[in-house]
Amino acid sequence: MSAAAAPEAATAAQPAGPQIAAEPPFLQMENVSRRFGSLKAVDDVTFGMAAGELRAVIGPNGAGKTTFFNLISGLLPPSQGRVIFDGEDITRRSVAHRVAKGIVRTFQITEVLPDLSVFDNIRVGVETARGLNARPWIGRSERIAVNARVEELIGIVNLNDKARRVVGELAHGDQRVVEVAVALSVGPRLLLLDEPTAGMGDSETEHMVDLVRRLHSDQGVSVLFIEHDMDIVFDIAQRITVLDRGRVLADGPPEQISADPRVRAAYLGEAE
């Protein structure tokens, strides 16, 4: 598609959400670009997301979705533009600072602590959330409180029967659930999920989709997720942002996206 169409679509999409327009966006990216040599992986993207949203990012392979995530989470600095979260310019801020502000992510390739149990994986997250990492001892009451929170999180993600199993020996789908539970343990306000259902079977996918939905509705976490499975995207996302060749091609509620001819041409038409 022509390069001129993209910013037009992005700006045109802004007033489409009436409930969003009232307060300043939770996450705001202003003209953000990221180059790798001559390749523009993310090209002049302007993006806004309100608190409490459940938003999907879609786009063909190489559209810049993971780079987009890396710019939000702080793995990469942008070549140009600004990233603003909850009123603070975090463009040059460290990953640790962003996590402290509540931006937590998972990865396309599962990142867990493979030799430890489900319980121990999540416990590290809970201890981190409480700022205990540097403590060389732990008192009895604090240990009980930490363990109770770990059990609670295990309950939320439905892994009670596998709590003592070593994560590296679990099925792929369960490992991804553990990863989400660890991310959840540090108390995210914005959870970034990079292809949460990649490589999963049907029942595993169902479990994950249900989990994401519950995190959003019950835990009040804003969720931004990259997903290839269009059934899932149109099933759960409140809004969808379409990336193509590093640019925002369209942005809006699912009905609008599925009706958008440019999206159909660039993406849905050839991919599905």
Interface contacts to other proteins, rule CB under 8 A? 73, 95-100, 104-105, 107, 111-116, 120, 123-125, 127-128, 132-138, 182, 186
Three-class DSSP category at 265:
helix
Select 9 or 183, whichever has its Cβ closest to other proteins.
Answer: 183
For other proteins, the closer CB: 142 or 229: 142
Amino acid at residue number 253 = P
Alpha carbon 231 to chain centroid, angstroms: 18
Instruction: Compute the least distance from the CB of residue 156 to other proteins, in Å.
Output: 18
In the complex, minimum distance from the CB of residue 263 to other proteins, in angstroms, rounded to a whole number = 31
CA-closest candidate to residue 239, choices 214, 208, 216: 216
* CB of 7 or CB of 102, closer to other proteins: 102
Report in angstroms how near the CB of residue 7 gets to other proteins at its nearest: 31
Q: How many CB atoms lie within 10 A of CB 201?
A: 12
Determine contact, residues 191/183, Cβ cutoff 8 Å: yes
Count CB atoms within 10 A of the CB of residue 73: 20
Give the number of other Cβ atoms within 10 Å of residue 4's Cβ. 8
CB of 4 or CB of 134, closer to other proteins: 134
Rounded to 5 degrees, φ, ψ at 23 are -105, 160
Name the minimum Å distance from CB 97 to other proteins. 8
Q: Least separation, in Å, of the C-beta of 259 and other proteins?
A: 37
Backbone φ, ψ for residue 188 (5° rounding): -70, 150
- Looking at the Cβ atoms of 194 and 244, the one nearer to other proteins is 194
